[in-house]
Amino acid sequence: MSEDRSLLIAKNWWDKLPRKIYSTLERVPIKQDWFQVYRVLPDIYVFYEPYQYEEALSTLILGEDKAILIDTGCGIGNLREAVEEVTDMPVMVLNTHAHNDHIAQNYMFDEIAMLDHPWSHKAQEGLPISEMAHLVADGMYWKPLPEGFDKENYVVPGFKVTKWFKDGDVFDLGNRTLEVMHTPGHTPDSLCLLDREDKLLFTGDMFYTGGIYTYLNGGDIPTFVDSYMRMLDHYNEYERLMPSHNEPWVEKQLLKDVFKAVVDIAEGRGIYKEGTDRGTPIRKYEYERFSVVTRAPE
Ligand SMILES: [Zn+2]
pLDDT above 90 for 94 = yes
Q: What ranges do the domains of the chain cover? A: 13-211+220-256
pLDDT above 80 for 2 = no
Cα of 187 from ligand 1 centre, angstroms: 7
Percent of the chain at pLDDT exceeding 90: 93
Cα of 100 from ligand 1 centre, angstroms: 8
Cα of 232 from ligand 1 centre, angstroms: 20
Q: Are 255 and 290 in contact (CB under 8 A)?
A: no
Residues 134-170: tens digit of each pLDDT: 999 999 999 999 999 999 999 999 999 999 999 999 9
What are the Cα distances from residue 133, in Å, to 33, 196, 280? 21, 38, 18
Cα of 186 from ligand 1 centre, angstroms: 7
The whole-number pLDDT of residue 222 equals 95
Cα of 190 from ligand 1 centre, angstroms: 8
Sign of CA dihedral 131, 18, 144, 37: negative
Cα of 198 from ligand 1 centre, angstroms: 25
Cα of 62 from ligand 1 centre, angstroms: 24
Q: How confident is the model at residue 53 (pLDDT cuts 50, 70, 90)?
A: very high
pTM of the model: 0.96
Cα of 212 from ligand 1 centre, angstroms: 9
What are the Cα distances from residue 97, in Å, to 104, 121, 197, 206, 211? 12, 11, 23, 10, 17
SS3 203: strand
pLDDT above 50 for 37 = yes
CA-to-CA distance for 262 and 219, rounded, in angstroms? 13
Right CATH number for 13-211+220-256 from 3.10.20.600, 3.60.15.10, 3.10.520.10, 3.40.50.720? Answer: 3.60.15.10
